[in-house]
Amino acid sequence: MVDRHVHHHLAPSRGVELDHRGTHRFRSRRLGEHPSLRPWPECQHGERHRQQEDSHRQSQLHRRVTPVAQGGISLVACAVIVPFRDSVANTNAALALVLLVVAAAATGIRSAGVVAALSSALWFDFFLTQPYQRFTITDQADIETAVLLVLVGLAVTEVALWGRRQQALASQQEGYLNGVLSTAGLVAAGGYGPERLIERVAGQIVDVLDIDDCRFQPGSGPRLPRLRRDGTVVDGERRVDVDRHGLPTDSEIELPVQHGGEVHGRFLLTASTRTARPSPNQRQVAVALADQVGAALASHDSLP
């Protein structure tokens, strides 16, 4: 437990406010150094949500426009090949269209790759197979080429999307590891006092778990749903299926801050405005970050 001299040391600093419950609340941004210019968390959360909504709208627009554009590109490509269709084998033309499908799949939008594959086969039939300018194919080899064009295009799309997902996952995990290592380095070097470290870690936890708020409470308090060391979340004796239902939204979630078996306080996590579904890895990263605070507070307790 945190004794009085540690609680006194964890006085509010810039970016951390001490509320009526004696907890330290994280503020993710500051508009200025003067207290009157510092936004309350509700304002910051509103700003953050507006930015997320703007980004979501732009993403949705991109996802609607890109497939339409890919269909048009396939049409133009086949029309460009028309003057040369007597000298260019249909199999070679199909390979050129596969490149367009690969380019569409590289956008990371499945519908763009699917539209590119289907439209390429459609316009391949219309422009490059006899009878021309009709959606009819009479040659068996052209039928096989058109079918393969669709199948290869769809397969390439799925492979490209899988590669993008793996790249994004690797980048995310690297970011989590860097965050934990940088915080551990600060603890080892003694570069941050406990209150500044708490502010830093609270911000990292908000970002890692994609939640609304995180505040530190020295000591203990009422029983709440708990994020355990193995990354699971329990509410009393019941285990919460975070992957399916998300983090609890009707109450705060406690993340114990401990070191060497001794509890020094807890982070109280709020995810009330939307359903947050952090992965097991993300939850374990949050636990590792809280452990860095526990190590810092234990080190502070040991000072004469």
Global pTM exceeds 0.85: no
Please give the residue range of the domain that contains residue 251.
Answer: 4-28+170-302
Q: Which sign, positive or negative, has the C-alpha torsion 123, 127, 128, 131?
A: positive
Domain count of the chain? Answer: 2
Residues 179 and 129 in one domain: no
The pLDDT, as a whole number, for residue 299 is: 78
Residue 289, C-beta contacts closer than 8 angstroms, at least 6 positions apart = 179, 180, 183, 201, 204, 205, 208
Q: What angle do CA 173, 194, 6 make, to 5 degrees?
A: 135
The pLDDT, as a whole number, for residue 298 is: 85
The pLDDT, as a whole number, for residue 227 is: 96
| CA-wise closest residue to 293 among 214, 212, 186 | 186
| CA-wise closest residue to 265 among 223, 196, 218, 224 | 218
Q: Say what angle helices 140-189 and 90-105 make with each other, to 10 degrees.
A: 30
| CA-wise closest residue to 43 among 27, 32, 64 | 27
Tens of pLDDT along the chain (304 residues) come to 444 334 433 444 334 444 544 555 544 333 233 332 233 344 444 555 565 566 556 666 656 777 777 778 889 999 999 998 888 888 899 888 988 888 888 887 888 888 989 999 999 999 999 888 888 888 898 899 889 888 988 888 888 888 888 887 777 777 777 777 777 777 766 766 788 889 989 999 998 898 999 999 998 889 999 999 999 999 998 999 999 999 999 999 999 999 888 899 999 999 988 899 999 989 999 999 999 899 888 877 554 4
Give the helix ranges, DSSP H, for 82-139.
Answer: 90-105, 110-128
| Residue type, position 90, single letter | N
How many angstroms separate the Cα of 188 from the Cα of each of 149, 210, 287, 288, 296? 58, 27, 18, 15, 8
CB 208 within 8 A of CB 180: no
The pLDDT, as a whole number, for residue 103 is: 87
Of 168, 188, 217, the residue that ends a domain is 168
In a domain, residue 36? The reply is no
Residue 205, C-beta contacts closer than 8 angstroms, at least 6 positions apart = 211, 214, 255, 267, 269, 286, 289, 290
For the domain that residue 186 is a member of, what is the CATH number?
3.30.450
Q: How many residues does the chain have?
A: 304
Residues 216 and 230 in one domain: yes
The pLDDT, as a whole number, for residue 231 is: 93
In a domain, residue 35? The reply is no
